[in-house]
Amino acid sequence: MNYIDTHCHLDGEEFAEDRDAVVQRAREAGCTRIFLPAIDVKSCHTVLDVCAHYPGYCYPMLGLHPEEVKADWRQQLDDIKGLLTSANCQQPIAIGEVGLDYYWSREFEQEQLQAFEEQVKWAVEMQLPLMIHCRKAQNEMVAILKRYARELPGGVFHCFTGNEQEARQLLEFDRFVLGIGGVLTFKKSHLPEVLPASVSLDRIVLETDAPYMAPVPMRGKRNESAYIRHVVVRMAEAYGVSEEEICRQTTATAERIFHLS
């Protein structure tokens, strides 16, 4: 079983004590690459540090997460743009994670919209894919993406948990795909029905969102890239194909979206 974890916060302090062991378990489980999203300026640096430590295995994505959009967002964006364009920085494979999140708070609603649109423009300028986080804001996000759809190289709607109609709306962006992780295995999840009904297998990439979203039977524990096999098993059941086929297609899709081979 060989797969790519397209969204893992491996730079988080949750992994400070045993990061080497976590990476070793991922390799043994068949995880061939791990993509790390940043959430703010500070984590851009920790993401780059961790990726430099595992060259050819861990890949950085840089951006300002919607929940980190606060009063200082313009300064944060300036600093992140500086990192993205700096010659001595490891080449990031995507802008992320970026998006809109009105789940906890709408305090910085306008700022979130502006910060997201600014980073969408970077994706166009640099022709880098977007790693998109969106909660309780799909219509607002789609409205912004539509303005740039023709010029955007593609991206991932990370941690998709919506219904068939929402899946179809997102997949109208034909160079974009859905990121699917532990939620697929949760008892109350509708994804095992929603996905086969509305999403073809070549529009899905695998992700952990570790340390969050651990799949059943690890639910509630710290998540890690090795646990993706539980997601693969459930996805294979849902689509009625082999686990190898899930791995083959999601890996090919991740390589296509992120321009790796």
User: Per-residue contact track with Zn ion, 177 to 216, x per CB under 5 A?
Assistant: --------------------------------x-------
> Closer to Zn ion at the Cβ: 22 or 238?
22
Whether cis (ω within 30° of 0) applies to the bond prior to 192 is no
Around Cβ 193, how many Cβ atoms within 10 Å? 12
- Tell which positions 56-115 bind Zn ion, by CB under 5 A: none
Q: Minimum CB separation from Zn ion for residue 167, in Å?
A: 19
CA-to-CA separations, 238 to 138, 199, 257, in angstroms, rounded? 25, 12, 24
Q: Minimum CB separation from Zn ion for residue 209, in Å?
A: 5
Work out whether strand 58-62 and strand 94-101 pair parallel, antiparallel, or are unpaired.
parallel
> Closer to Zn ion at the Cβ: 84 or 98?
98
Q: Minimum CB separation from Zn ion for residue 193, in Å?
A: 25
> Closer to Zn ion at the Cβ: 97 or 166?
97
> Closer to Zn ion at the Cβ: 68 or 166?
68
Q: Minimum CB separation from Zn ion for residue 37, in Å?
A: 5
> Closer to Zn ion at the Cβ: 66 or 154?
66
Size of the site for Zn ion (CB under 5 A): 1
Alpha carbons 81 and 67: distance in angstroms, whole number: 18
Q: Which residues contact 178 (CB under 8 A, 6 or more apart)?
A: 156, 157, 160, 167, 170, 171, 195, 199, 203, 204, 205
Tokens of 191: 């994804």
- Tell which positions 209-248 bind Zn ion, by CB under 5 A: 209
Q: Minimum CB separation from Zn ion for residue 7, in Å?
A: 6
Alpha carbons 191 and 155: distance in angstroms, whole number: 20
Beta strands in 30-71 (DSSP E): 31-37, 58-62
> Closer to Zn ion at the Cβ: 170 or 238?
170
Alpha carbons 230 and 213: distance in angstroms, whole number: 12
Alpha carbons 17 and 4: distance in angstroms, whole number: 23
Q: Minimum CB separation from Zn ion for residue 181, in Å?
A: 10
> Closer to Zn ion at the Cβ: 9 or 234?
9
Alpha carbons 143 and 134: distance in angstroms, whole number: 13
Q: Minimum CB separation from Zn ion for residue 214, in Å?
A: 14
Binding interface with Zn ion (CB under 5 A): 209
